[in-house]
Amino acid sequence: MWSIGIYTGDSPFHLRAPANKPNPVLNHTDVTDVSAEFVADPFMLHHDGRWYMFFEVLDRETQLGVISLATSEDGFNWTYQQIVLREPFHLSYPYVFEWQGNHYMIPETLGASAICLYKADDFPTRWSLQQKLIDGAHADPSLVRFADLWWLFVCSTPYKHDTLRLYFARDLVGPWKEHPRSPIVQGDKSRARPAGRILVVDGRVIRFAQDCFPHYGTHVRAFKINEKTRATYVEKEHPNSPVLSPSGQGWNAMGMHHVDAHRQDDGQWIACVDGRLDVHLC
């Protein structure tokens, strides 16, 4: 049973549950428009003075994921709103971002056999398919804008969690080209599958990875990308990695596999994370 929590800290590598704020902030019982089995994969945006969180809800009746919305004035107290995106196939990992005054989402869309870009027709509640970017079933597509290019990291072995591919494009809608060093991780389920929003910190790109060894949701690890051009790619694990681990008790006792961290005006960081209560391996 996955739930969603809020962590804070002085950097995205030093995040902890705040002592005076209860976690989880959202669980399956908060969902009001379907019977939910769990909630997971949260992504946040701060827009016009309010926080918006998009996340996967597993519909117990259909056993398909849908994307739902919750809102908050302070980032700690959240109110569930509604389902905002549903497809005939499973949806998860709603990677939301803003670009040139518009809001976009690239969720995981394995059932579409493509990586799909959605655009907000009326943010935050109405979204429509803008374009299919890359063919094939890829897990947890995660992108970042850096050095005048878009970079897209995807796990191409969604049920093995052991291969990470890298694509780049000048424009968001493509054309997308696979990097010559791709796959940049192969045969290693401890660092291949993306685990949340990619950050640019002090001019360096930081990617987060699910450690799926020995089981799904073991840790979240951080990797600093030291060199990334159209021809080269070099990364090194951050010295503070893993950045998230199960607590051994409560809502995140048995696993954590996702982080979306945001720097606030005072320099502190706030992040939405998820955690698993029981020993069921998704």
Torsion over CA: 214, 250, 244, 31 (sign) = positive
- What pLDDT score does 86 carry? 98
The CA distance from 185 to 183, in Å, is 5
pLDDT in tens, 24-38: 999 999 999 999 999
d(CA 144, CA 276): 27
Whether residue 22 has a cis bond before it, omega within 30° of 0: no
Task: Tell me the per-residue pLDDT of 137-192, one tens digit each, with 9 for 90 and over.
Answer: 999 999 999 999 999 999 999 999 999 999 999 999 999 999 999 999 999 999 99
Q: Provide the pLDDT for residue 282.
A: 39
76: how many CB neighbours lie within 10 A of its CB? 16
Residue 281 pLDDT exceeds 70? no
**Per-residue pLDDT reduced to its tens digit, 12-22:** 999 999 999 99
Mean of the pLDDT values across residues 236-249? 96
pLDDT of residue 242: 98
| pLDDT attached to residue 91 | 98
In terms of CATH architecture, what is 2-276?
Answer: 5 Propeller (2.115)
Whole-angstrom distance, CA of residue 183 vs CA of residue 154: 10
* 216-236 tens-digit pLDDT: 889 999 999 999 999 999 999
- Residue 261 pLDDT grade (very low, low, confident, very high; cuts 50, 70, 90): very high
